[in-house]
C-alpha cells in the first residue's frame, strides 16, 4: 500500500513536470516604472529594445537581466508607440503625435536624431515595419491615421535615414477609407512589409474603428475582416504572417470591453486570393498583439491576458490574466518577451 502511494506520487510529480514543461510561463523581469510600453523589438536572445510613454526607451544587451532606461531629450512628453531595432546600437523610435516623428540612434540609445517628422495638425502615426529587400537593404513602411480621407503612409529604402511619401494619386481606384476607420497604435504590429522572393513587395495593414479591414497597400485592395467593429474602440489591432507567407492571424476586439472573448481573431490563408476564417476557441479577450513563435505555435496578448495557440490559431488557451500590450520574438533566436503598462517587461519561458 505504502509502495503504491509512493509510486503514484512519483507518477503524479512526473505528470506535473510534463505539464509544467508544456505550459509556457511568463517571468517578469522589470516593473514599477510609470511608463506604458507599446514598442518592443528583440534583435536576438540577448538584445531587447522597448519604448513607451514619457519619451522612454529601455535596452538590455544581456537577455533582459539588466535594462538601461533613458528619456529622449526634448521628447519627455511624447509616446514612442513603436520601435524597430536592427542591432545593439541601431534603432528607430516612432512618436505618435505632436509631433509625429521618427528618431534614429546608432550609438545604443545615447543620442537620437530626428529623421522624419510631420507637424500637420491631426497627424497621428500608428506603426512601422521593416524588411530586407532583394539587394539586402532595409526597406521600411510607416502607417498613420487617415487625414482628409487619405491613408497616411511613408516608405524608406535606407534603414530609415530618409523617408518618402508616395503620391497616392499615382494609383487609380484606391478604396475609400470609411468614416471612423483608422489604425490602432497599440503595439506597432498592424503593418507588415515583406519582400517574398519571386514575388512583389507587399505592404499589409489592418484597420479598426467603425470599419475593420485588411489593406493591401501596394495593389490597393481592401478586404473586410470578420472581426468586431462599429465603434471607435473596436477592430483589428495586430497582424502576424508566418515565415513562408502562406498564413496569417489578425487579433483585436474592443479595448474598452477587454474581456469579450469573441469576434476578436481572424485566420488568413494566402493563395491567389485571401481566405478568412475564425478560430474554434478564440483568444480570451481583447488582444493588441499577435506573433508566430514557430510554424504552429502563436502567442497573443492584451490588457486582459495572454493566450497561446498550438494549432496555428484555431484554438487559444489562456496562460495569464496579466495585462500586456505587446509581445515579440527574437528575429535571430528563440527568446520571447512581453511588455505593458507600469514599465513591465517579461520573458516567456517556453
Ligand atoms: C546594468 O547596465 C548599466 C548600464 O550599462 C551598468 O552601469 C550596470 O553596471 C549594469 N548592472 C548590472 C547588474 O549588470
Ligand atoms: C516586421 O513585421 C514582421 C511581422 O510582424 C516581424 O516578424 C518582423 O520582425 C518585423 N520586422 C522588423 C525589422 O522588425
Ligand atoms: C480557399 O477557400 C476555397 C473555397 O472555400 C477553397 O476551395 C480553397 O482551397 C481555399 N484556399 C486555401 C489556400 O485554403
Ligand 1 atom, smallest distance to 62 CA? 14
pLDDT at 196: 72
Atom 11 of ligand 2: nearest residue by CA position: 130
Q: How confident is the model at residue 137 (pLDDT cuts 50, 70, 90)?
A: confident
Q: Whose CA is nearest to atom 2 of ligand 3?
A: 275
Of all ligands present, the nearest one to the C-alpha of 130 is: 2
Contacts from 227-232 at CB under 8 Å and sequence distance 24+? Answer: 227/252, 227/253, 227/263, 227/264, 227/265, 227/266, 228/252, 228/253, 228/254, 228/260, 228/262, 228/263, 228/264, 232/180
Q: What is the mean pLDDT of residues 243-268?
A: 97
pLDDT over 70 (residue 261): yes
pLDDT tens for each residue of 188-242 = 999 999 987 656 789 999 999 999 999 999 889 999 999 999 999 999 999 999 9
Does residue 84 have its Cβ closer than 6 Å to ligand 2? yes
Alpha-carbon torsion, ordered 63, 90, 82, 157, to 10 deg: -140
Q: Residues with Cβ < 8 Å from 219, sequence gap 6 or more?
A: none
The pLDDT of residue 203: 94
Residue 195 has phi, psi (to 5 degrees) of: -130, 80
- The reported pTM is 0.91
Q: Which ligand 3 atom is at minimum distance from the Cα of 270?
A: 13
Residue among 68, 70, 89, 109 to mutate when testing ligand 1 (max atoms within 8 A of CB): 68
Closest ligand by atom to 273 CA? 3
pLDDT digits (tens, 9 = 90+) for 80-119: 999 999 999 999 999 999 999 999 999 999 999 999 999 9
Closest residue by Cα to residue 124 from 147, 141, 154, 155? 147
Amino acid at each position: 500500500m505504502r509502495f503504491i502511494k509512493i509510486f503514484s506520487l512519483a507518477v503524479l510529480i512526473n505528470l506535473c513536470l510534463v505539464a509544467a514543461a508544456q505550459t509556457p510561463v511568463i517571468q517578469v523581469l522589470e516593473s514599477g516604472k510609470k511608463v506604458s510600453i507599446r514598442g518592443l523589438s528583440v534583435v536576438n536572445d540577448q538584445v531587447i529594445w522597448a519604448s513607451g510613454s514619457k519619451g522612454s526607451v529601455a535596452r538590455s544587451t544581456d537577455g533582459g537581466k539588466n535594462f538601461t532606461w533613458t528619456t529622449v531629450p526634448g521628447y519627455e512628453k511624447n509616446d514612442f508607440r513603436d520601435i524597430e531595432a536592427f542591432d545593439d546600437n541601431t534603432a528607430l523610435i516612432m512618436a505618435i503625435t505632436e509631433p509625429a516623428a521618427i528618431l534614429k540612434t546608432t550609438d545604443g540609445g545615447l543620442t537620437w536624431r530626428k529623421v522624419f517628422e510631420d507637424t500637420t495638425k491631426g497627424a497621428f502615426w500608428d506603426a512601422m515595419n521593416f524588411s530586407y529587400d532583394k539587394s539586402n537593404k532595409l526597406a521600411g513602411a510607416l502607417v498613420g491615421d487617415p487625414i482628409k480621407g487619405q491613408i497616411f503612409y511613408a516608405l524608406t529604402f535606407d534603414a530609415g535615414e530618409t523617408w518618402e511619401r508616395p503620391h497616392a494619386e499615382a494609383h487609380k481606384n484606391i478604396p475609400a477609407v470609411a468614416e471612423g476607420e483608422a489604425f490602432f497604435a497599440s503595439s506597432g504590429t498592424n503593418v507588415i512589409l515583406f519582400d517574398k522572393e519571386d514575388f512583389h513587395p507587399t505592404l499589409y495593414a489592418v484597420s479598426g474603428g467603425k470599419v475593420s479591414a485588411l489593406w493591401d497597400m501596394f495593389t490597393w485592395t481592401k478586404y473586410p475582416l470578420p472581426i468586431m467593429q462599429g465603434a471607435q474602440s473596436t477592430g483589428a489591432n495586430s497582424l502576424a504572417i508566418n515565415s513562408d507567407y502562406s498564413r496569417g492571424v489578425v487579433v483585436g476586439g474592443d479595448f474598452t470591453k477587454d474581456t469579450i472573448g469573441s469576434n476578436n481573431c481572424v485566420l488568413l490563408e494566402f493563395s491567389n486570393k485571401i481566405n478568412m476564417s475564425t478560430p474554434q476557441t478564440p483568444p480570451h479577450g481583447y488582444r493588441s498583439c499577435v506573433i508566430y513563435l514557430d510554424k504552429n505555435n502563436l502567442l497573443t496578448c492584451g490588457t486582459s491576458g495572454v493566450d497561446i495557440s498550438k494549432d496555428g490559431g484555431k484554438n487559444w488557451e489562456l496562460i495569464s490574466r496579466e495585462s500586456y500590450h505587446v509581445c515579440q520574438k527574437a528575429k535571430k533566436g528563440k527568446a520571447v518577451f512581453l511588455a505593458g503598462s507600469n514599465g513591465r517587461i517579461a520573458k516567456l519561458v517556453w
